[in-house]
Structure 1
Amino acid sequence: MEKKPNGQPDAGLRSLNHYQNRLPKWRYWPRQKILPLVRYETPYLAWLQEKMRSPTLDSYFAFTANLGTHTFFTVFLPILFWSGYSTLGRGMLNVLAAGVFWSGFIKDLLCLPRPLSPPLQRITMSGSAALEYGFPSTHSTNAISVAIYALALLWSPDNTLNPGINFSMQAALYIYAVSIIAGRLYCGMHGFLDVIIGSGLGALIAWVQCQYGLLFDSWIIAATGKQILIVILTVLALVRVHPEPADDCPCFDDSVSFAGVFIGAQISSWDFAKSDLAWPEPSPDTIPYRFETLGWSKTLLRILIGVVAVFVWREVMKPLLLRLLPPVFRGLKKAGLLLPRRFFTQASEYEKVPGHLKDNDVIPSFSDIPSIFTSMRHPRRRAVSIGPQSEADAYETLAYREKRRRESISEQTQNRGTDGPILSNRAPSKLEKYEHMMGTGSPRQSPEAPAAPTPPVANGSTDQDEQAMFSMIKKPRVRYDVEVVTRLIVYAGIAIIVIDYAPYMFDFLGLAP
């Protein structure tokens, strides 16, 4: 079942032929080897979820999932810089940017699905999570990389924190990492393999940062303009070679956003370190701050003004760039200088980009802030979804149904020549009931009352089934080619405002020590 590019499913679980046609052999082969593991895990995840479910845990894990998102860290990181912890801020930014980029890279490389629902129930405060591929878990990558990096700093002999505070912070980090990873399983968003590989990726990234992070930061601050340009071009080249997914998956958008933040952070740290305003200790690009001088009121005012500046930049620059860039892209296309990406509508095919794109931006818009605070104040306002949430889920449901149909035909063929079907009085186990639910796609289907099989057609399901299933799911919005450059510029600008411009603003307003 093929669709036009602007109607592609969210994040894919289509027939095997779809992936075989869309992916080169070196990407298709590992996908087909790992996919059975993803399916094998699902009944066990459903059993675990049912054993643990409670309203309190639903709220807890749905809420703590927000602490592993890109949005949380992107709002939290500027506070580190503005509080005089530039080295810590850069380290956190490095591990998060690497985690988001490389986990998204692997997701789009292998195009592996999330565990099926049903039998799992997906519990979340974000409706966009199911639009991405499942392997590996970016939440797990972020949580582990941040926790290990922070623990390494707490274990450092140079650490001067009070032993009681040190112990409390270490305990909080362990609870944080376990909550995020266990929550991904509990909420039905990921399988064991997703979180294991995601955690391993996070540990690797944290190790690299602990070993080479300070050397890289020192090199950046002492670099020449040409060396900074090489860093920028290297990151842009990585963005360009980011794998083209088989489906319309938004993983690339997050990777581009953090690539932009990383680029902006290197430029601004290099530039601010050369200014007279920067403090030389503990690093040459330290933003001036002393709590004893400023106190709570001015500290909070610094943060408020800085956050407002970031939101204003995004609110002004994003719509401006979306208006200015389409004519530029049309000219570049005529000159043959564009390398368009799949699932992004080219500028020659539209007149202008709509003013209010429903997006899953790393930095939310002003209009999204009330709903964010409402969710934070009322953690019980989570969504519990059963059944396909995206076309990706729908295709996997149909693919698994086709798999079971073929297995049934094979069993019937093997039983021919016997006196009749072999009957068993044994009641099906819980895991068998959950396995039976896989491929039903029905939120009303219970494990105690399996649905009657649907008469198959050539593709293993009825047209009526497919229409009903696809009518339930959320359609992806049209994405435009200019959004990639827009994201790079906007998010690079956010980092420059945080590190390079905010200190001058604080100094001008009398909010510097």
Structure 2
Amino acid sequence: MTKVDPLSNAQNEPRLDAGNKHHDHYANALPKWRNEIRKKLIPIVRWETPYLALMQDALRTPALDSYFAFTANLGTHTFYMVFLPILFWCGYTNFGRAMVHMLAAGIFVSGFLKDMLCLPRPLSPPLARITMSGSAALEYGFPSSHSTNAVSVALYAIYMIRSAPEQYHPQVFVAVQALFWWYAISIIFGRLYCGMHGFLDVVIGSILGAIIGVGQLAYGDFLDTWIPDGPIGNLIISILVVLVLVRIHPEPADDCPCFDDSVSFAGVVLGIQVGAWQYARCAFSTNDPISSTVPFSIESIGWVRAVLRVILGVVMIFIWRASTKPALFKILPPLFRVLERVRWNLPRAFFLNASKYTSIPTLRGDDNVIPTASELPHMLKNLAHPRRRSVSVGPQSAADAYETLAYRNRRRRESINSLDGKMPEDSAWVPQTKEDGTQASPQQSQEKVPLGANMLPTPMASRVHSYEQMMGTGNAAVTTATPPERNQNFMGEDAVQSPTEEENEKREIFMKITKPRVRYDVEVVTKLIVYAGIGWLAVSGNPMLFQIVGLGMGVALVQ
């Protein structure tokens, strides 16, 4: 078999040249009903942008940049995945399991909607993107998963605190609640301040978080007993439900990592359920406060042993991840080629089929949930200097690039059609039929522009202009008080581009964004297995190891 260079594979070509298609990218890539919903919501994203830019201009300071860049990490999957196992090892099984359920639901639902609707983040420029995550800007914007996670966790924690006020000193009772409120507000407002999300994104994300938090409070106790204390059939049903949810996750129009995050948390849920069912039947577990709880008492264990067991547990997780992933990358491709030949494979967009490659190279940036051990020093350095690499301006993903092109083309049409009175405020773009029977692109048609969307505040106009000059394209039209000359845009350049100019502009924008790495079909199953193992280690494997090596409570509890 001839080895295919992934960078030259045909699947990668649209990432650079997709902007050169004659048809509207999303109208082509999405089912009609999904595209219709997207067309209804995209004007809101564009309408929000100038107001977000004004807010960012008015509030930005170096200190706030550092604060919101740093605190954004407290709403990421990585933060939760690093600290969640510690809850299980310290006896807070009920709280840890609730966190897993809420975060997994939040990541899956928000990722499902992101890939279904393919709505971009607010336009940059005029907004600066402030983020320490290299992958966040590659995702779609709607809804905000940070907001979903923050609200669900804060709501659940505040409810649990208020349900047992007698356990806290009055001042501590108020202070802890205020801390969780501040946490949620900081995360939500920080997404707006950092230019990573718009108002619609954080509002819908917060509503989803509230629904998930309420759902956990209503049904959490049932889930805590239905699987650990139930027959194996309950466990099998839960596994099948998770696998079905992974399968029905919608295909995105661009190479977006939302699906990867959903798969990772689906794997964690699988491992948590299997581990809880097994550990509940282990002689080392206790039923206080719920089944499959790890016995823990700081008075009995002591701080030294408590710290050592956390270190050992984290090391075991990294060893599992570092050893299992390479092994699966060697074992799974031949199996996937057999499945592909008999048509039993389940191909997914932007993932390279096993028949197209012979081996998988060492992957970088292939995990947005738990970093590799080698990446930890770099991450700690970034945490120490959160503003050093956090600010960027300009398209960072394919979705950004398409939205930038759509914005420029719309402004060009407005600069021409407004002179002739051809664009009424309520006009809506619909694909037109050309002489050859194909659909005309949006560049050749009209698109709905909401009232006020074309009135850009001065800071936005100047920042768009500056970035356009830096890019060397300078074609975005900006509303001014003086009408432009016929056939010129507001920046004094040709408003109507030749096909060659249009193609060059698209190529230039797509060449400036970071090219997504090649993704392999075996990664989906690999993530499920690796993260299921991490979940199992958190609730069963490591607690049994602690007992064996003398870091447990020192006694075997008989059920």
TM-score normalised by structure 2 residue count: 0.85
Letter of the 2:522 counterpart: V
Alpha-carbon distance, 1:484 to partner: 0.1
Q: Is 1:151 aligned to residue 158 of structure 2?
A: yes
Residue 323 to residue 303, structure 1, CA distance change in 2 (3 Å): same
Q: Is 1:173 aligned to residue 173 of structure 2?
A: no
Aligned to 1:60: 67
* Contact 2:19/2:402, CA 8 A, preserved across alignment: yes
Aligned to 1:188: 195
Paired residue total = 499
Aligned to 1:36: 43
* Contact 2:267/2:527, CA 8 A, preserved across alignment: yes
Alpha-carbon distance, 1:415 to partner: 8.9
* Contact 1:47/1:430, CA 8 A, preserved across alignment: no
Task: Name the SS for the 2:391 alignment partner.
Answer: strand
Q: Is 1:431 aligned to residue 438 of structure 2?
A: no
**Superposed counterparts of 1:287-436, under 5 Å:** 287-414=294-421, 431-434=457-460
Q: Is 1:484 aligned to residue 484 of structure 2?
A: no
Letter of the 1:481 counterpart: D
> Which moved further from structure 2: 228-237 or 251-260?
228-237
Q: Report the Cα distance in structure 2 between the residues aligned to 1:297 and 1:442, rounded to whole angstroms.
A: 58
Alpha-carbon distance, 1:195 to partner: 0.5
Q: Report the Cα distance in structure 2 between the residues aligned to 1:79 and 1:270, rounded to whole angstroms.
A: 19
Q: Report the Cα distance in structure 1 between the residues aligned to 2:330 and 2:371, rounded to whole angstroms.
A: 20
Letter of the 2:297 counterpart: R
Letter of the 2:460 counterpart: Y
Give identity over the alignment, percent.
Answer: 51
Instruction: Decide which of 23, 35, 52 is 2:30's aligned counterpart.
Output: 23
Residue 95 to residue 363, structure 1, CA distance change in 2 (3 Å): same
Alpha-carbon distance, 1:453 to partner: 3.7
Could you give the per-residue CA deviations for residues 464-489 of structure 1, whole angstroms, max 9, x where no partner exists? 32233222210001100000000000
Alpha-carbon distance, 1:137 to partner: 0.6
Alpha-carbon distance, 1:251 to partner: 0.4
Q: Report the Cα distance in structure 2 between the residues aligned to 1:36 and 1:407, rounded to whole angstroms.
A: 15
Q: Report the Cα distance in structure 1 between the residues aligned to 2:311 and 2:168, rounded to whole angstroms.
A: 27
Letter of the 2:416 counterpart: I
Q: Report the Cα distance in structure 1 between the residues aligned to 2:500 and 2:45, rounded to whole angstroms.
A: 21
Could you give the per-residue CA deviations for residues 40-60 of structure 1, whole angstroms, max 9, x where no partner exists? 000000000000000000000
Residue 415 to residue 209, structure 1, CA distance change in 2 (3 Å): closer
Aligned to 1:46: 53
Instruction: Decide which of 491, 500, 504 is 2:540's aligned counterpart.
Output: 500
RMSD: 2.5
Q: Report the Cα distance in structure 2 between the residues aligned to 1:276 and 1:242, rounded to whole angstroms.
A: 39
Q: Report the Cα distance in structure 2 between the residues aligned to 1:13 and 1:75, rounded to whole angstroms.
A: 39
Q: Is 1:5 aligned to residue 11 of structure 2?
A: yes
Q: Report the Cα distance in structure 2 between the residues aligned to 1:13 and 1:435, rounded to whole angstroms.
A: 24
Q: Is 1:472 aligned to residue 512 of structure 2?
A: yes
Residue 396 to residue 448, structure 1, CA distance change in 2 (3 Å): closer
* Contact 2:54/2:459, CA 8 A, preserved across alignment: no
* Contact 2:113/2:143, CA 8 A, preserved across alignment: yes
Alpha-carbon distance, 1:205 to partner: 0.5
> Which moved further from structure 2: 302-311 or 380-389?
380-389
Letter of the 1:164 counterpart: Q
Q: Report the Cα distance in structure 2 between the residues aligned to 1:206 and 1:159, rounded to whole angstroms.
A: 23
Residue 221 to residue 14, structure 1, CA distance change in 2 (3 Å): farther
Uncovered stretches (5+) of structure 2, i.e. residues with no partner: 1-8, 424-453, 481-489, 554-559
Could you give the per-residue CA deviations for residues 210-264 of structure 1, whole angstroms, max 9, x where no partner exists? 1011111111112211221111011101100100011111100000000000111
Residue 374 to residue 295, structure 1, CA distance change in 2 (3 Å): same
Task: Name the SS for the 1:343 alignment partner.
Answer: coil
Alpha-carbon distance, 1:361 to partner: 3.1
Q: Report the Cα distance in structure 2 between the residues aligned to 1:177 and 1:274, rounded to whole angstroms.
A: 38
Residue 198 to residue 48, structure 1, CA distance change in 2 (3 Å): same
Residue 408 to residue 122, structure 1, CA distance change in 2 (3 Å): same
Letter of the 1:479 counterpart: R
Alpha-carbon distance, 1:157 to partner: 3.6
Alpha-carbon distance, 1:460 to partner: 10
* Contact 2:455/2:479, CA 8 A, preserved across alignment: no
Letter of the 1:170 counterpart: Q
Aligned to 2:241: 234
Q: Report the Cα distance in structure 1 between the residues aligned to 2:95 and 2:153, rounded to whole angstroms.
A: 11
Q: Report the Cα distance in structure 2 between the residues aligned to 1:14 and 1:263, rounded to whole angstroms.
A: 42
* Contact 1:107/1:134, CA 8 A, preserved across alignment: yes
Q: Report the Cα distance in structure 1 between the residues aligned to 2:207 and 2:499, rounded to whole angstroms.
A: 38
Letter of the 1:472 counterpart: K
Task: Name the SS for the 2:295 alignment partner.
Answer: coil
Instruction: Decide which of 89, 95, 114 is 2:121's aligned counterpart.
Output: 114
Q: Is 1:258 aligned to residue 265 of structure 2?
A: yes
Residue 50 to residue 107, structure 1, CA distance change in 2 (3 Å): same
Could you give the per-residue CA deviations for residues 45-101 of structure 1, whole angstroms, max 9, x where no partner exists? 000000000000000000000100000000010111011000000001100000001
Task: Name the SS for the 2:346 alignment partner.
Answer: coil
Q: Report the Cα distance in structure 2 between the residues aligned to 1:440 and 1:462, rounded to whole angstroms.
A: 20
Letter of the 1:5 counterpart: Q
